[in-house]
Amino acid sequence: MKKHLITSLLMVVWTTVLLGLVYPLVVTAIAQVLFKDKANGQLITRDGAIIGSRIIGQPFAGPGYFHSRPSAAGNAGYDAANSQGSNFGPTNQKLIDRVQGDLVRLNTENPGAPVPADLVTASASGLDPDISPAGAEFQIPRVARERGWSQEKVRRLVQDHIRPRQFSVLGEPRVNVLELNLALDGKGEGPGLLEPMR
């Protein structure tokens, strides 16, 4: 009995050290050496300040910027500590009212154009960093008007930022909103309203 108890305790200690300390440290070290950017959240910096992540959505309210999808993460949306969807079903009146309000706002922004679904529906996480190419195309007239650019100039920038399906089969074509907005500011003619993350 005593021998079995000692063996069991040694096994617990051994597996705790191996799987609770050694393995995570080795995996972390490998990730830091081989995939440093991805392991650290794919952060984007400007002038030494972190302004966002390529893989976490954030809000953009300025009319001269492309806007992200709606978010139900946290009280104000885009709260990475409260990643979630609204869990409202298609017959939920709160969801219907919010979508209808968004449709009215978007129709005044680009009258007569069909509104892409991703501009009025939140992702399951509430932190989707991408919009569809159609979602970006819909916003081109507003962004061009606010910046005093031609729509063709903005459209070329959008086309340059469309990412295709991964391995040509996985997912859908998409546009990273933060990278596109940084490219807008990078042209040196924008309002420059992107602020560092807090």
Q: Provide the residue-wise pLDDT of the chain in tens; the chain has 198 residues.
A: 888 899 999 999 999 999 999 999 999 999 999 988 888 888 888 888 888 888 999 999 899 999 999 998 888 888 888 888 888 888 999 889 999 999 999 999 989 899 999 999 988 888 999 999 999 999 999 999 999 999 999 999 999 999 999 998 999 999 999 999 999 998 644 444 455 444
Give the C-alpha distances (Å, rounded to integers) separating 144 from 16, 43, 181, 184.
58, 27, 12, 10
Helix (H, G, I), strand (E, B) or coil at 8: helix
Query: What's the maximum distance between 2 C-alpha atoms anywhere in the chain?
Result: 83
Q: Domain range spanning residue 33?
A: 1-40
Q: Does some domain include residue 172?
A: yes
**170: its two tokens:** 């996985």
Q: Does some domain include residue 142?
A: yes
pTM of the model: 0.78
Its sign, for the CA torsion 64, 66, 71, 74, is: negative
For the chain, what is the domain count? 2
Give dist(CA 185, CA 147) in Å, integer.
10
Same structural domain for residues 63 and 11?
A: no
Q: Does some domain include residue 132?
A: yes
